[in-house]
Chains A and B, each alone.
Chain A
């Protein structure tokens, strides 16, 4: 079946511009996670959705970062007024349930802020 998909696969933007990153989870998965992966580093947790609500936003690095999820499906991560340090791969994962269910990752969006 279809896995987690993310778009765009690559995004180049200028410092100060806003960007939107999209995640389409596996159908029926109620839990959705966003992570950030800087070059050569591990993954940093950003935000978790259970259904359409976000009980844990503790990983968002600043108020320039926000995310929403609609229809218990698609999620969008928005970065406002991008900075060069935002350059990274943004990964989305979905899970059939919250808690400690297996997380299935998408291919990521590679963001470069010039």
Chain B
């Protein structure tokens, strides 16, 4: 089945710097890749997603890139702010089993933005 690896597990940056989180996946048939932000004591919140027919997607300070050949995708946050501090999860949605859309998650990256 699908396996998602996420790096780094922790990331500390200064306010205003950029942050990059990388994920790899194993199932070449996966075609949907969302990123979630989870704040302490809350459920994950979708921040951006990308489908396999595009290579890059941007939403203000957040961008995601996808390389299907290499089976990896990355989250880029520019001009980081203290409120960006949270745990970020990448996920992949495999296409077996009738494409029911269950997500396979990476183990998360704890991002700390220092003022």
Partner-B contacts on A (CB < 8 A): 4, 31, 33, 35, 40-45, 48, 50, 55-56, 58-59, 91, 93, 95, 98-108
Contact = CB atoms under 8 A, between A and B. Distances in A.
A100 B31 CA distance: 9
Contact of B42 (A45, A99, A101, A107): A107
Nearest to B44: A105
Interface residues of B, number: 29
18 contacts: A33-B101, A35-B103, A41-B107, A42-B108, A43-B105, A50-B100, A55-B100, A56-B100, A59-B102, A91-B43, A93-B43, A95-B101, A99-B101, A100-B32, A100-B93, A100-B99, A102-B49, A108-B43
Interface of B: 4, 6, 31-32, 34, 36, 41-46, 49, 51, 89, 91, 93, 97-108
A42 B89 contact: yes
A48 B103 contact: no
Nearest to B43: A105
Contact of A48 (B31, B42, B101, B108): B101
B18 to A, nearest CB: 24
A105 B99 CA distance: 19
Given A43-B44, A99-B101, 13 more contacts: A33-B102, A35-B105, A41-B108, A42-B108, A48-B101, A55-B98, A91-B43, A98-B101, A100-B99, A102-B46, A103-B34, A105-B44, A105-B45
B100 A103 contact: no
B89 to A, nearest CB: 6
Nearest to A110: B41
